[in-house]
A and B are shown apart, each in its own frame.
Chain A
Amino acid sequence: MVFLGPVDRAEGFFDSVGLHTPRGRSVSDHLLHQINADFGDAAEIRKRVDMLCDAYLSSAQRTDVENAIKAVCASPGPQFEASATPPNVLRQTAVLTQRSLTNNLRDVGIIWARLVMYLCLCLVCAFVYFRMGHTWQDVYSRAAILFFTAAFLVFMSISGAPAFVETMKVFTRERLNGYYPVGAFAAADTLAGAPFIALIALLSAAVLYFISNLNYHGFGRFVYFVLNLYAALLTAESLIMCLAPLVTHFLMLIAIAAGRHVWRDDDRLRLLSAQRPATPPGALLSDALPVV
């Protein structure tokens, strides 16, 4: 041991064996440099370290340290006792929910960037199917925009994955430390996410519905549209969360979740394309094809 004691006495100790710190040199750098054999002549530094060790053994600093240790051992002071009742699960959930909510509000990457992406996508979709009417082509168009809504918006839940991977890292560490049970975390994450997903569903639906003229028969249908979309977004979000603990690699998580969605959408696409009516002879081609 070269030195054990208060920092402000270290320089004096090195001085006493003739290793003065030059002016303008950081003291800690200088002291470390004297005993670090990585960059200098190893044999010489080894000798210097031995000399320092001997000097320390016979120094006043060593007797002071030993006396201090003896004093602590003689009267150790009161023992720390952990609280007998761990915090209530409800309270843990409440605190975690509040933390998650704050995080969702402040971190632009979790909700707000996603909201903008959703709105842009909905605007594009809505203007592709701008003010639909009631002819047979429009029946096709309506089915098509509903399909795109179901497919794209659910698919876009993947944009929540990057943020959730970060959340899982925090959760894993805190769980290993035993701060709270898994149930509290799952419940808190659900509660904290729900209002923001509702906001996304509401605004997306509002953009889609009124630009593309889906609101054919009354306001109740719009409400149903929002609710149904909300439930689907919750489901998609949960699905990504299910995968997240199993697939910790971020890019693989995105790939697997996206793959799952595409596979499902493909199913629906086949349904739509299989039912395209056969065109009778002499019919206008535009009459039989969906207007896209």
Chain B
Amino acid sequence: MHFLSFETYLFYGFLHNEFGGTDGWGCPCSAQPGGCPTQLGGPQCTFSGTDVLRYWQVPLSWNKWVLFAVQLAWAACFRLLFYVTCKAKEWRSR
């Protein structure tokens, strides 16, 4: 059901775009040796963008441009469906 929704691809595309190939993000508390750092000290370790994506359970095998292509395919599908529903209505009213 999750993958039937076109926003899935939009959101994953955004996440890939934001985090993919980046580095230097702060770590979550659970990843740090002594639990959470104090606010003053700041995070002691860093996450790469890939780590962040893995943390959000975003499928890493999908390139962001693949996700974009899927999104475009959805648009085309719905346009076709628009044509079909117009036709269907016309056929019904006959």
Number of A-B contacts (CB under 8 A): 159
Per the bound structure, the CA–CA distance linking A284 and B27 in Å amounts to 14
Nearest A residue to B78 via CB reads A238
B14–A228 touching, CB < 8 Å: yes
Nearest B residue to A229 via CB reads B10
The segment from A3-11, A64-72, A94-102, A147-155 that touches chain B is A147-155
A288–B79 touching, CB < 8 Å: no
A225–B81 touching, CB < 8 Å: no
Given contacts A232-B71, A238-B82, A264-B7, contact A134 B24 (CB under 8 A): yes
A280–B7 touching, CB < 8 Å: no
CB-contacts of A221-268 with B (<8 A):
221, 224-225, 227-229, 231-232, 234-236, 238-239, 241-243, 245-246, 264-265, 267-268
Per the bound structure, the CA–CA distance linking A217 and B83 in Å amounts to 41
Per the bound structure, the CA–CA distance linking A234 and B64 in Å amounts to 18
By a CB distance below 8 angstroms, the chain A residues around B82 are 186, 238, 241-242, 245
A85 close to B (CB within 8 Å): no
Closest Cβ–Cβ distance, residue A241 to chain B (whole Å)? 4
Nearest A residue to B14 via CB reads A146
Interface size on B, residues (CB 8 A): 54
Option from A190, A246, A268 in Cβ contact (under 8 Å) with B7: A268
A283 close to B (CB within 8 Å): yes
Per the bound structure, the CA–CA distance linking A279 and B32 in Å amounts to 12
CB-contacts of B8-35 with A (<8 A):
8, 10-11, 13-15, 17-19, 21-22, 24-30, 35
A228–B29 touching, CB < 8 Å: no
B10–A154 touching, CB < 8 Å: yes
By a CB distance below 8 angstroms, the chain A residues around B43 are 135-136
By a CB distance below 8 angstroms, the chain A residues around B39 are 284, 286-287
Question: Contact residues of A with B, CB < 8 Å?
Answer: 134-139, 142-143, 146-147, 149-151, 154, 171, 175, 182-183, 185-186, 190, 214, 216-217, 221, 224-225, 227-229, 231-232, 234-236, 238-239, 241-243, 245-246, 264-265, 267-268, 271, 275, 277-284, 286-288
Q: List 10 A-B contacts (CB under 8 A).
A: A135-B25, A136-B43, A137-B26, A186-B86, A231-B72, A235-B74, A238-B82, A246-B88, A279-B29, A284-B39
Give 5 nearest A-B pairs by CB, closest first. A238-B78, A135-B26, A136-B26, A283-B36, A231-B71
